[in-house]
Amino acid sequence: MLSIFDIYFKSPIVHGMDPEPPRFSAPPARRLVLLVADGLRADKFFEPDERGRYRAPFLRGVIEEKGRWGVSHARPPTESRPGHVAIIAGFYEDPSAVTKGWKANPVEFDSVFNRSRHTISFGSPDIVPIFCSSLPHSTWGSYPHEYEDFATDASFLDQWSFDQFQGLLNRSFEDAKFRQLLLQDKLVIFLHLLGCDTNGHAHRPYSNIYLNNVKVVDQIAESVYNLMESYFNDNQTAYVFTADHGMSDKGSHGDGHPSNTDTPLVAWGAGIRSPKFLDYTDKPDDGFRFVDDHKHDMPTPQDWALEGFERVDVNQADIAPLMATLVGLPCPLNSVGSLPTHYLKLSKADEVEAVLANTKQILNQFLRKSQMKQSSSLYFKPFKPLANYSSVLDEIEDLISARDYETAMTYSEELRSMALAGLHYFQTYDWLMLMTTITLGYIGWMVNLALHVLQSYTSIPANLKRTQPYAKNTSIKVYIGGCLIMGFSSIILLLEKSPPLYHAYVFMTIFLWTRIIQHIEFIKALWRELSNAPFKYIVNLLSISVIALFILEFLVMSFFDRKLYTWCFLILGILASTYVAILIQTSSALAVYIWFACWFLSLFTLMPAEIPENNNLVIFSGALIILVAMASRWMATNNTSFWLYLTRANKRDPQFSKLFFVQVTFVAISSIMVWLSTSHRSRNKELHPLHQLINWLTAGVAMVLPLFSPPSVLSRLTSIFLGFAPPFLLLSIGYEAVFYSAFAMVLIGWIFVESANLYCSEQTGPAHRSSVVEGSIFGYDERCLHLSDLRIPLLFLILFNVAFFGTGNFASIASFEISSVYRFITIFSPFLMAALLIFKLFIPFMLVICTFSAITKIMRIPRLGCYFLVILLSDVMTIHFFFLVRNTGSWMEIGNSISHFGIVSAQVVFVLLLFALTNIFTKDIVVSSRQLNSRKAM
């Protein structure tokens, strides 16, 4: 599981490079003003309002008369910290931040602010301290977190930032030392304007409050411009206005939707070109893509009315080299941005020098990564396209000396593109080795499991000995060979200074494949047996394998769309009921029941993952649980031959025992307490202590009662179902309480189908029965696993995943509803609340595992063998999720890809622990069958 962090989430940042200042005769500007309107969408900024007036008249005038404009394309995750890091430091989200939280920086990095002579900054406490708190040459301030009130119009936050800056300039007239500091060159001023972001979250980006905030931002831009020009009065100030990310219509951001990635960019002042008027012509797609996958030369929307003014779109990280170049600073050392020359008003010579400095800065990162990797690699594979980079640099210098600026510019840009490709090459340098090792490790583990199951739980070893004896290869040579390979690998990894976990990955893979080679004689004998097997058997084996793979791929897809389970159970209902009605030819009522149970369960994955509160449904489900339990109890006392697979008929047991009545009473009490607790809490805003005590006692005692129930299959399972019903009801707030009954009905249906299948197979005659008995190598109560038994672990995995996604998304913490625990506790206690929520989620899993254990007993197959098959099938899904892990995209997409891989990986241990827990309830389940009776007679 840890391997994904070594593969996908390594920091791209390296240290030890030298800065590359541009060789200007003089920088284009003495100072820079950066205005970032947090959460401002490009379309809401450029488009007119309902009256046809533009919301940002000042900046609109700048676009038309003074400067350049475009759309800045942000790369997901479109969050505030990654966006500001891209703008100010020039690189995109550090993937290692996923393990360290997003508020602070996971590693130290260089930025435009670091390189400046002095930085002045005001704004949000979540952003400004990231860049200025450890910067000695800075003056900064941020408002308290309490100011960020979602219930108010947050545009006053923007005004606060401007007022602080204006106050600072006013104070400088009285402070000669500070005024002298302001009059220096290489001064950077940064105002962070949070209003649009807060108002977008609280009121949505189409609300009047958000749209009015766009006007406020424009007014602040105008005020800052007028203030700077009157204070300095030297036309030596450059201005850059942009946003860190946009805002979706739902008032959220983070993903790669254009409403989140498209942000405005307006630049004007010293060193910025004047507007260029040109007709838009539809250009063919040149294949270039911005970081948010948008095409180059996208047509400008007509309602922006800016088609005539040249639009220069940039990647968000390109803004950092633009700002650095404007004030004559070297580009930030870790920047991957490309200097957008269409914004700069420079001589051809200075323009080439600026691009060359940008190229050298990116090339220095590449060379540093190359040097680090080469110093620790025994067999170093260089990035071949940049093998002759020094001769290209010499050629560019010669072209500049010869004043062939056009060719020098082309060469510089090509070298920069190759350096960026080289950075990616070294970022993913170890991927092939690591991914191959991990994949081989998983495959080795799966082959070991398959060999163990074949040797220990099937009749294959006995059959092989009968046909042709195979020697058990226990030679010490295999182990010595494995140890030598491990030792050799360890020496190589030590010489390459690899992290300790790399050793663990390689050792585990070698160990598993050594174990496989140890069984090579068995594998050869198995291959010979398969080669001589009938064609029908081979077809059967292949078809079952294909069906199993299809089901596993379906389960992988269900992690992304839980509605797939609706189709699954609609189809399963038809197939299972048809199988029962036609092939098994038992009770027609059973076929109808299975069809109804599957279709009833199929409704729940259509429900919203965020469960709406509905206490009436919870109370109704209490009555439904009692009805399901009564029907099951009635079947448990049915003495017809068909039900002998489910019950040990005992006429001394009354039809409705005292324990059953006690459990039903507990379910009824819990339903009443749902109503009483909720109504009292909603009236008095608190949980009554007596209600709290009754709820805890009801839930606690109810879970112990199944231990005292009769040991026959249906009686025990019904008692377990009733035992976990009270805590589940008391922890339910809506439709998930009904899901509990529907899920139990499907599980009972599964038992019925397996029992009916066994009943009918034993009707085929004594020959079949005797063969089954002869195949028993575990004593009279267990038989060998057959190929057809693979359906049991497959069905278990389907139902286990339905327990995950039946009433929400287990993979997302956001789908946990905290109000579920309010009938047990209302005072905030994170550990107890989390424990109650997780326990509620575990209850459906425990029902599945109890049913699975019961079915292995009914079918007389080894439960541990079936558990190993569950692990084997889970690992097929794990390998798929291993390749689906993402390190780009929104935090939610990255987090979900990690949690999907983690959930399926942990399933192995998770299921084993639940087996141990449910074994308390299922270990003494007793089954009787004709097979058992006939065995005793023999």
pLDDT above 70 covers what percent of the chain? Answer: 86
Confidence grade of residue 60 (pLDDT, cut at 50, 70, 90): very high
The answer, yes or no, to whether residue 96 has pLDDT greater than 70, is no
Could you give the CA distance from residue 69 to residue 66 in angstroms, rounded to a whole number? 10
Instruction: Say if 340 falls within a structural domain.
Output: no
Looking at the structure, do residues 51 and 111 belong to the same domain, yes or no? yes
| The domain boundary residue, chosen from 532, 552, 569 | 532
Confidence grade of residue 650 (pLDDT, cut at 50, 70, 90): very low
191: left (phi over 0), alpha (psi -120 to 50) or beta: beta
Tell me the CATH number at 37. 3.40.720.10
Q: What is the pLDDT of residue 364?
A: 96
Looking at the structure, do residues 484 and 495 belong to the same domain, yes or no? yes
pLDDT above 90 covers what percent of the chain? Answer: 46
Q: What is the pLDDT of residue 401?
A: 94
Rounded average pLDDT over 607-615: 72
Instruction: For residue 441, give its domain range.
Output: 430-532
Rounded average pLDDT over 852-874: 90
Instruction: Say if 777 falls within a structural domain.
Output: no
Rounded average pLDDT over 477-499: 89
The answer, yes or no, to whether residue 197 has pLDDT greater than 70, is yes
Looking at the structure, do residues 86 and 229 belong to the same domain, yes or no? yes
Looking at the structure, do residues 563 and 588 belong to the same domain, yes or no? yes
Instruction: Say if 932 falls within a structural domain.
Output: no
Confidence grade of residue 105 (pLDDT, cut at 50, 70, 90): low
Of 408-412, 762-766, 905-909, give the lowest mean pLDDT range: 762-766
Q: What is the pLDDT of residue 829?
A: 63
Looking at the structure, do residues 398 and 434 belong to the same domain, yes or no? no
pLDDT tens column, 127-137: 999 889 888 89
pLDDT tens column, 676-691: 877 776 676 666 788 7
Instruction: Say if 931 falls within a structural domain.
Output: no
Instruction: Say if 325 falls within a structural domain.
Output: yes
Who wins on pLDDT, 2 or 685?
2
Looking at the structure, do residues 439 and 402 belong to the same domain, yes or no? no
Looking at the structure, do residues 389 and 447 belong to the same domain, yes or no? no
The answer, yes or no, to whether residue 384 has pLDDT greater than 90, is yes
Which of 808, 839, 820, 803 has its CA nearest to residue 610?
808
Looking at the structure, do residues 491 and 578 belong to the same domain, yes or no? no
According to DSSP, residue 584 is labeled: I
Instruction: Say if 781 falls within a structural domain.
Output: no
Instruction: Say if 404 falls within a structural domain.
Output: yes
- For every residue of 882-924, DSSP letters joined together read HHH--SSS-HHHHHHHHHHHHHHHHHHHHHHHHHHHHHHHHTT
How does strand 118-123 pair with strand 187-193? parallel
Which of 11, 8, 45, 53 has its CA nearest to residue 245?
45
Rounded average pLDDT over 424-431: 91
Confidence grade of residue 620 (pLDDT, cut at 50, 70, 90): confident
653: left (phi over 0), alpha (psi -120 to 50) or beta: beta
SS3 344: strand
Rounded average pLDDT over 738-748: 92
The answer, yes or no, to whether residue 644 has pLDDT greater than 50, is no
pLDDT tens column, 542-576: 999 999 999 999 999 988 888 888 999 999 999 88
| The domain boundary residue, chosen from 532, 558, 574 | 532
The answer, yes or no, to whether residue 310 has pLDDT greater than 60, is yes
Looking at the structure, do residues 148 and 247 belong to the same domain, yes or no? yes
Please tell me whether the overall predicted TM-score, pTM, comes out greater than 0.85 for this model. Answer: no
How does strand 118-123 pair with strand 68-73? unpaired
Looking at the structure, do residues 324 and 400 belong to the same domain, yes or no? no
Looking at the structure, do residues 304 and 367 belong to the same domain, yes or no? no
The number of C-alpha atoms within 13 Å of 692 and in the hemisphere containing its C-beta is 11
Could you give the CA distance from residue 54 to residue 269 in angstroms, rounded to a whole number? 22
Supply the mean pLDDT for the chain. Answer: 85
* 380, 421, 739, 748, 750 from 743: Cα distances, Å: 57, 52, 6, 9, 11
pLDDT tens column, 210-266: 999 999 999 999 999 999 999 999 999 999 999 999 999 988 888 888 899 999 999
Q: What is the pLDDT of residue 788?
A: 87
Of 242-246, 326-330, 488-492, 605-609, give the lowest mean pLDDT range: 605-609
Q: What is the pLDDT of residue 918?
A: 87
pLDDT tens column, 62-85: 999 999 999 999 988 888 888 999
Confidence grade of residue 808 (pLDDT, cut at 50, 70, 90): low
| The domain boundary residue, chosen from 532, 554, 583 | 532
Of 69-78, 298-307, 860-869, 883-892, give the lowest mean pLDDT range: 883-892
Looking at the structure, do residues 309 and 420 belong to the same domain, yes or no? no
Instruction: Say if 935 falls within a structural domain.
Output: no
What domain count does the chain have?
4
